[in-house]
Amino acid sequence: MGVVEDAYNVKVLGSGNTTVVLAHGFGTDQSVWRHLVPHLLDDYRVILFDHMGSGTTNPDLFDFERYSSLEGYALDVLAILVELQVESCIFVGHSLSSMAGLIACISRPDLFQKLVMITTSPRFLNDVDYSGGFEQEDIDQLFQAIQSNYKAWCSGFAPLVVGGDLNSVAVQEFSRTLFNIRPDIALRVVQTIFQCDLRHLLPRVTVPCHIIHSMKDMAVPVETSEYLHRHLGGESVVEVIPTEGHLPHLSAPEIVIPVILRHIEFDIAS
């Protein structure tokens, strides 16, 4: 196993001529794709990994400067693809990872056949003629809550973002992976996500983008998916699914998995 593979807990499964990369979002790890992976193994080569600071990665390797911007995550994606000698892939990213894939595909479009983007946003702060979903005061309160009592914040945040009661399997699973993140690392990642603004990069994206969004998502307004569709430089398509929550692939797999599989298999109709 290579240095990058080891550092990011990379797993390569399945068989097939087409490579699918599954990239998780904040608060989860590669286990979040457990409902999807079995459906891919017969037809695709599947690459899974954990972002630094998530899963069983070594928290001491988390570089606070590198991950102060989403470019750090994009560089990680490219490093994994290069080490595994991937010539082209279908990149499936959730939230943070969708934007990391977007940045990566601008510098190396040859490595990406398409992006499948699940509940993602180029900017979380509201702006003139732009609905990101949050005011600066909301975000400042979020940072303060994480710093004050991380465990209490996790307990309150998990059901809100997943969209379920405390006893649901999805909320329990997300709570587990979220709480496993070291608090100072979680704070930096949340700061990076909520302070990012990638709107200026969207016209530079030429790789086809498949945008999947929950009908109701407390983290990302559904209008954001249409904003992406209008401003991306290449072909794009939006599908709003009848689910609630920011992690529909975890909370409503029976609805979402067929949708993801369809967008992996079929290209955008010209």
Q: Which residue has the tokens 């409902």?
A: 35
Count of H helices and E strands in the chain? 10, 7
pLDDT value of residue 152: 96
Mean pLDDT score of the chain: 96
Cα 254 versus chain centre, distance: 19
pLDDT tens column, 214-236: 999 999 999 999 999 999 999 99
C-alpha angle 153-154-159 in degrees, rounded to nearest 5? 110
Residues 6+ apart with CB under 8 A from 232: 202, 203, 205, 209
Report which residue type is found at 65: E
Q: What is the pTM for the complete model shown? A: 0.97
**For residue 172, what are the CA distances in angstroms to 48, 154, 156?**
22, 11, 12
pLDDT band for position 1 (cuts 50, 70, 90): low
Query: What mean pLDDT is predicted for residues 6-17?
Result: 95
Query: What mean pLDDT is predicted for residues 239-267?
Result: 97
pLDDT band for position 2 (cuts 50, 70, 90): confident
Q: Are 203 and 159 in contact (CB under 8 A)?
A: no
Quick one: which of 45, 59, 61, 56 has its CA closest to 13? 45
pLDDT tens column, 62-79: 999 999 999 999 999 999
pLDDT band for position 240 (cuts 50, 70, 90): very high
Q: How far apart are CA 105 and CA 169, in angstroms?
A: 34
pLDDT band for position 213 (cuts 50, 70, 90): very high
Residues involved in catalysis: 95, 217, 246
pLDDT tens column, 12-58: 999 899 999 999 999 999 999 999 999 999 999 999 999 999 999 99
Secondary structure of residue 152 in the 3-state scheme: helix
Q: How far apart are CA 134 and CA 9, in angstroms?
A: 33
pLDDT band for position 162 (cuts 50, 70, 90): very high
pLDDT value of residue 269: 79
Q: How far apart are CA 134 and CA 93, in angstroms?
A: 22
Cα 203 versus chain centre, distance: 20
Q: How far apart are CA 230 and CA 211, in angstroms?
A: 12
Residues 6+ apart with CB under 8 A from 8: 49, 50, 51, 52, 57, 76, 80
pLDDT value of residue 235: 97
- The helix or strand, by DSSP H or E, that contains position 102, with its residue range, turns out to be helix 96-107
pLDDT tens column, 143-160: 999 999 999 999 999 999
pLDDT at 171 over 90: yes
pLDDT value of residue 165: 77
pLDDT at 132 over 80: yes
pLDDT value of residue 270: 64
Q: Are 210 and 116 in contact (CB under 8 A)?
A: yes
